[in-house]
Structure 1
């Protein structure tokens, strides 16, 4: 399967705004990890950007996962891009 990277941005005041959606977000990520589609995901230390690595059959699948995440649906993630990734090592 193909690997994809997701790079996105967080909203202003993310720590406060994400609170009501955090558990649903984490539960969804845990399911993705368990299924093997999510390799890793997390924020930058300053909590302005999010970075994830996925392994999926298509970019559309990754887009669906991102856009169905509570953080996207509730404006915690404000933009994102997905690129096919070649793991050299």
Structure 2
């Protein structure tokens, strides 16, 4: 298994569009948590984006999960994906 830290940024001009898709986004996140693919995640305190931690087989799997997210791609952009080697098991 590989662990990835994903950072996203929100376009403040498209906040209404993002918030309209938020219920579907949260439902999708919960399904990934139930499957053990999403370790944790949440918005940054300044409202500029979010950080999510995934535990998946490989980068291809992560890319499929990110592509399937219900958030509009113009309102929420993936700004960084980094593989992480945590010192402690989840």
TM range (shorter): 0.7 to 0.9
- Give secondary structure in 1 for the equivalent of 2:12: coil
Deviation per CA, 1:3-62, whole angstroms, max 9, x where unpaired? 111012111145423222111111100100000000011110111121010000001111
* Counterpart mapping for 1:7-46 below 5 A: 7-13=7-13, 15-46=15-46
Residue of structure 2 in register with 1:56 after alignment: 56
- How many corresponding residue pairs? 88
* Structure 1 segments of 4+ aligned residues over 3 angstroms from their partners: none
TM-score scaled by length of structure 2: 0.85
Unaligned runs of 5+ in 2: none
Alpha-carbon RMSD: 1.6
Residue of structure 1 in register with 2:75 after alignment: 76
- Give secondary structure in 2 for the equivalent of 1:70: coil
Unaligned runs of 5+ in 1: none
